[in-house]
Chains A and B, each alone.
Chain A
Amino acid sequence: MTPEVFNLIQACEWAPSQFLVFSDNVFESFIYYSHLGSIIPTLLIALFIFIYGRKEFSSILLLLTSIFFSLWVFSDLVLWATEFPSYTMFFWALEIVCEPLVYFFSFYFFYVYVFKKDLSVLQKILFLFPLLPTFVFASTRLGLLGYDISNCDRAASEGILATYGYAIEILYTLLIIGFAIFVLIKAKESVVKKRTALLAVGIVLFLLSFSIGNIVEVFSQDWSIGRYGLFGAPVFVAFLAYLIVQYRAFNVRLIGAQALVAAFWLSVLSLLFIRTVEDVRIITSVTLIFVLIAGILLVRGVKREIAQREKIQKLAEELQDTNERQEGLLHFIGHEVKGFLTKDAGAFAAISQGDFGTPPDGMKPFVDQALIESRQGADSVSNILKASNLKKGAVTYVKEPFDLEALAREAVEKARAAAERKGLTLTFVADGASYQMTGDKAQLSDHVLRNIIDNSINYTSSGSIAVSLKRDDGKLVFAVKDTGIGIDEDDKKHLFTEGGHGKDSQRVNVHSTGYGLYIAKQIAEAHGGTIRAESEGRDKGSTFFVEFPVV
C-alpha cells in the first residue's frame, strides 16, 4: 500500500473490509440483503434449470446470464465495502465488462428459447461485435478515467465506455422487444404468442430491475436506489424459470417450494447483519411480500395437486371397473368364438375324413385348409384367454412328478410334421441324465415346450431346429436352437411381454397373437423356472432356454 493510499484511508476513516465484502463502510446492512438476496436465489434457480435441462442450450444460456449477473452484483458489493482504491478500480472495471454481457446473454437466451434454434454464424458475429470495444478498452481510461479522492465517496470516475455500455444495453433490449413483436405478428398459434410475450416481458423487467439503479442515478444522482431494484432480479429469474417449466416437464411446485424455503433462509441469515430497527422493518417487509407471494403460489399448487390426485384416483377406479367389464365381455366372446371354431373344426375334420361319404373332387383341399385355419383360430383365442387367466391368477396347476425328457421328446414328435412340411430338420438330444421334476405336465408340454418349438418352426424358413435337454449347475435346461430370422436388441425387450411382437413377427407369421411366449414365461415362472432368448441379431438364428430348478 502506498503512503498516499494509507493517508487517504486514515483521513476518510474508511473501515477495513474482510473477505472483500464485509465492512463498516457498508453504511446500511440492508445492502447485504439486497445483494446476497439476489445472487443466491438467481443462481439456485438457474442451476436447478441447468441440472434438469442440461442438454438444452437455453438452460445453459440462462445459467450464463445468471453467472454474469451474480458477478456484477458481487462486484457491486465489493465496491460498497472496500477501502482500497485498487479494488474499487478493478471491480468497477469488472462491472463494466459484466453488465453488457448480462444483456447479451439475456437476448441470446430469448432468441434460442423462442425460435428453438441457434443464431447463425453471421448473427453470432454481428451480435457479438458491439461487445468488442468493452472487452478491449475496459482496462483503459476509456473505461475508468481514474479514482476520485476529492471526497470520501470511494468512487471511480467513469469514462465514455460506461456510457457506451448503456447504449448497447438499450440495443440488446430493443432486439428482444423487436423479435418479440415479430413473433407476435407472424406466429399463428396463440400458445406461442402467449409464451413469447410472457418471456419478453419477464426478461425486459429483469433487465430493468437490474439497471434501475443506473437509470435513477442518472436523473437523481442517488446511488442508494439501485439496491431496491436488485430485489426484482430473482423474482423475474424465477418468472423466467416458471415459463421454461410451464412448457416442459419440470415440476413448477417444487421450484415454488424451494424458492419459499430459500426466502426463509435468507430472511433468517439477514438478521445476522441487522444493526438498526429501520433495517429490521425493511427486511421484514420485503421478506413478508416474498413469502406471501411464494406461499400463495405454493398453497394453490398443493390444492391443485390434491384435486388432480383425487381426480386421477377416481378415473383410475372407473377405468378399473370398465376394464373388468370389458375383460368379462371379451372372455365371454372369446369362449363363444372358440366354441364355434371348435365345432367348425370338428365338422371340417368329419368331412375331410369321409364321415359323410367321400368328398367331391376338388373339395378336399379346401376343407383341409378350412380345418387348419379353424384350428389355428381356436388356438389363437385359447392363447388370449389363457393369457387373461394367467394375469388374473385364475389358472390352477395340477402338479405331479414326471420325466421332463419324455415330455420333451413327445413335444418334439408332435411338432415333427409341421417342421417337415417346411423342409426343416428337427432333432432332439438329451445327455442321459435324470430329468425328474414336479409340475403340471399338460401346461408345461402345451404352453412351454410346444410353444417354444412351434415358435422356432414358425420363424425359420430353412435349416434346422435343434432341441436339447441337459443338466447344468443344478438346473434342468431345455434349449431350442434354430437357424431362423433371429432377434434384434429392440425385439428382445418385449419378446416375453403380453401381446409383444417383434418388428417383423407378423410379416413372417401372420397368425402370431403375441401371447405365446408371454404364456410360456408365466407358466415357467410358476414352476420356479426362467425363460430367456439369445440371438446374435437379425438373420443369425436364435436360441431359447427354459431352466427349471432340480427339486
Chain B
Amino acid sequence: MQIGRSSIIYTVVLFVLVGLSVGAAYYRYMVRQDFTYFQTEDEIPDQFDPSAYSQL
C-alpha cells in the first residue's frame, strides 16, 4: 500500500504537534530553566495528588 494524501497531511500534523511540544519543553527547561528543585524527599509531591498541579 502506498502513502496517500491524507496520510501525508496526518503525518505532517503529527510532526508539527511533536515539534511544538518538544519546542515548548526546550524553551522552558533549557532556555528559561524554569523548574523546581526539590531539596528534600519530603518536598516531592505525590504525582496522584491534584494539589501538586495547582501551578503548571
Would you call B6 and A145 a contact (CB within 8 A)?
no
In the bound assembly, the distance between CA atoms of A124 and B6 in angstroms comes to 10
Note all chain A residues with C-beta closer than 8 A to B10: 124, 128
Note all chain A residues with C-beta closer than 8 A to B37: 4, 85, 146-147, 149
A146 to chain B: closest residue by CB: B36
Would you call A157 and B38 a contact (CB within 8 A)?
yes
Note all chain B residues with C-beta closer than 8 A to A49: none
Note all chain B residues with C-beta closer than 8 A to A57: 1-4, 7
Note all chain B residues with C-beta closer than 8 A to A131: 17
In the bound assembly, the distance between CA atoms of A144 and B45 in angstroms comes to 11
Would you call A138 and B21 a contact (CB within 8 A)?
yes
In the bound assembly, the distance between CA atoms of A58 and B1 in angstroms comes to 7
- Judge if A392 is at the interface, Cβ distance under 8 Å: no
Would you call B30 and A97 a contact (CB within 8 A)?
no
Would you call A159 and B47 a contact (CB within 8 A)?
yes
- Judge if A60 is at the interface, Cβ distance under 8 Å: yes
Expressed in whole angstroms, the minimum distance between the Cβ of A89 and any Cβ of chain B is: 4
Would you call A146 and B38 a contact (CB within 8 A)?
yes
Expressed in whole angstroms, the minimum distance between the Cβ of B5 and any Cβ of chain A is: 10
- Judge if A186 is at the interface, Cβ distance under 8 Å: no
In the bound assembly, the distance between CA atoms of A337 and B37 in angstroms comes to 101
Expressed in whole angstroms, the minimum distance between the Cβ of B11 and any Cβ of chain A is: 8
Note all chain B residues with C-beta closer than 8 A to A159: 47, 52-53
- Judge if A488 is at the interface, Cβ distance under 8 Å: no
Would you call A94 and B17 a contact (CB within 8 A)?
no
A60 to chain B: closest residue by CB: B3
- Judge if A134 is at the interface, Cβ distance under 8 Å: yes
Note all chain B residues with C-beta closer than 8 A to A86: 29-30, 33, 35
Note all chain A residues with C-beta closer than 8 A to B29: 86, 89-90, 93, 139
- Judge if B12 is at the interface, Cβ distance under 8 Å: no
In the bound assembly, the distance between CA atoms of A131 and B10 in angstroms comes to 14
User: Please, what's the 1-or-0 string for A157-199, where 1 marks a CB less than 8 Å from any CB in chain B?
Assistant: 1111011000000000000000000000000000000000000
Would you call A94 and B22 a contact (CB within 8 A)?
yes
Would you call B2 and A145 a contact (CB within 8 A)?
no
Docked complex: B35-56 residues within 8 A CB-CB of A:
35-41, 43-45, 47-48, 52-53, 55-56
Would you call B30 and A160 a contact (CB within 8 A)?
no
Would you call A144 and B35 a contact (CB within 8 A)?
yes
Question: Chain B: interface residue count, which band?
Answer: 35 or more
Main secondary structure of the interface of B (DSSP, over half): helix
Contact of A150 (CB < 8 Å), options: B21, B30, B44: B44
Would you call B2 and A157 a contact (CB within 8 A)?
no
Q: How many residues from A make CB contacts under 8 Å with B? A: 49
Docked complex: A83-127 residues within 8 A CB-CB of B:
85-87, 89-90, 93-94, 97, 101, 112, 116-118, 121, 124
Note all chain A residues with C-beta closer than 8 A to B48: 160, 163
Would you call B1 and A141 a contact (CB within 8 A)?
no
In the bound assembly, the distance between CA atoms of A4 and B44 in angstroms comes to 18
- Judge if A221 is at the interface, Cβ distance under 8 Å: no
In the bound assembly, the distance between CA atoms of A141 and B54 in angstroms comes to 9
Would you call A85 and B35 a contact (CB within 8 A)?
yes
Would you call B41 and A150 a contact (CB within 8 A)?
yes
- Judge if A397 is at the interface, Cβ distance under 8 Å: no
In the bound assembly, the distance between CA atoms of A159 and B40 in angstroms comes to 17
Would you call B45 and A139 a contact (CB within 8 A)?
no
Would you call B30 and A128 a contact (CB within 8 A)?
no
Contact of A135 (CB < 8 Å), options: B3, B7, B21: B21
Would you call B1 and A117 a contact (CB within 8 A)?
yes
Contact of B6 (CB < 8 Å), options: A56, A118, A132, A163: A118
Expressed in whole angstroms, the minimum distance between the Cβ of A492 and any Cβ of chain B is: 29
Would you call A118 and B4 a contact (CB within 8 A)?
yes
In the bound assembly, the distance between CA atoms of A65 and B37 in angstroms comes to 34
Note all chain A residues with C-beta closer than 8 A to B43: 150
In the bound assembly, the distance between CA atoms of A160 and B47 in angstroms comes to 5
In the bound assembly, the distance between CA atoms of A121 and B7 in angstroms comes to 9
Would you call B25 and A93 a contact (CB within 8 A)?
yes
Docked complex: A23-40 residues within 8 A CB-CB of B:
none
Would you call B25 and A138 a contact (CB within 8 A)?
yes
Given A56-B1, A139-B24, A145-B36, 17 further pairs, Cβ under 8 A: A4-B37, A57-B4, A86-B35, A90-B26, A94-B22, A101-B18, A124-B10, A137-B56, A138-B24, A139-B28, A141-B53, A143-B25, A146-B35, A150-B39, A150-B41, A150-B44, A160-B48
| 5 closest cross-chain pairs (CB), A and B | A146-B36, A93-B25, A89-B29, A139-B25, A139-B24
Chain A interface (Cβ < 8 Å from any Cβ of B): 2, 4, 55-58, 60, 64, 85-87, 89-90, 93-94, 97, 101, 112, 116-118, 121, 124, 128, 131-132, 134-150, 157-160, 162-163
A-B contact pairs, 11 of them (CB 8 A): A55-B2, A55-B3, A86-B33, A89-B35, A97-B18, A131-B17, A145-B44, A150-B39, A150-B41, A158-B47, A163-B48
